[in-house]
Amino acid sequence: MPDPVHSESSQPIDFSTVLERIGGDVSFLQELLDLYSQEFAEKKHLLEEALARGDSTQIQEVGHSLKGASANLSLAPLQRLSLAIEMAGRENDLEKARQAIGALGTEFIRLKTFLEVHPLEELG
């Protein structure tokens, strides 16, 4: 079984599912993705702070909320990594949390790159 923290072979976003969820509105999807990017930056920052403090409750909470946002936009890899962070927080496993948070950052960059290569305008 592949390690969810280290290998992300699937597509960063499942366009067809997310568009179905929002009635095919591409510009709305763009708006939501921009919102996600802003929130992601804030939450990543919160996670790093929590990690530095050893605050596993905060890690769990932020992981949980990021998991929900990722699921809504059909960002499956980010959703899985957020779940891993939430679980690590719950188990008070800071090392596992650190790894997952690192992988989360990498996955986000992969999403950004993917969106640059596959601009939403081409979806309409």
Partner 1 sequence: MKILIAEDDLISSKILQRNLLNWGYYVVPARSGAEAWQALQDGELRMTLLDWMMPGMDGIEVCRKIRRRKKYKYTYIILLSAKDRKQDIITGLSSGADDYMTKPVNLLELRARLQTGRRIIDLEDKLLFVQNQLKDLASRDSLTRIWNRSESAKFLREELERGHREGVPTGVILLDVDHFKRINDFYGHDIGDQALLQVVSRLKKNVRKSDKIGRYGGDEIIIVLPRCSSSEIFKIAERVRLSVAKKGIKTELDMVPLTISVGCAASDVTGILSTERFIKVADEALLKAKSQGRNRIVVANGLSTRKQEHKNA
User: Where along the sequence are the contacts to partner 1 (CB under 8 A)?
Assistant: 21-23, 25, 28, 31-32, 35-36, 39, 64-65, 67-69, 71-73
In whole angstroms, the minimum distance from the beta carbon of 80 to partner 1 comes to 13
By beta-carbon proximity to partner 1, the closer residue of 20 and 49 is: 20
Choose among 4, 8, 12: nearest CA to 70: 12
By beta-carbon proximity to partner 1, the closer residue of 51 and 83 is: 83
In whole angstroms, the minimum distance from the beta carbon of 69 to partner 1 comes to 5
Alpha-carbon separation of residue 51 from 19, 39, 54, 88, 112 (angstroms): 35, 18, 5, 11, 24
Apex CA 21: angle with CA 9 and CA 82, to 5°?
A: 45
Q: How far apart are CA 21 and CA 5, in angstroms?
A: 27
In whole angstroms, the minimum distance from the beta carbon of 15 to partner 1 comes to 15
By beta-carbon proximity to partner 1, the closer residue of 28 and 114 is: 28
In whole angstroms, the minimum distance from the beta carbon of 22 to partner 1 comes to 6
Find out whether 92 and 56 touch, Cβ atoms under 8 Å: yes
Q: How far apart are CA 115 and CA 121, in angstroms?
A: 10
By beta-carbon proximity to partner 1, the closer residue of 21 and 45 is: 21
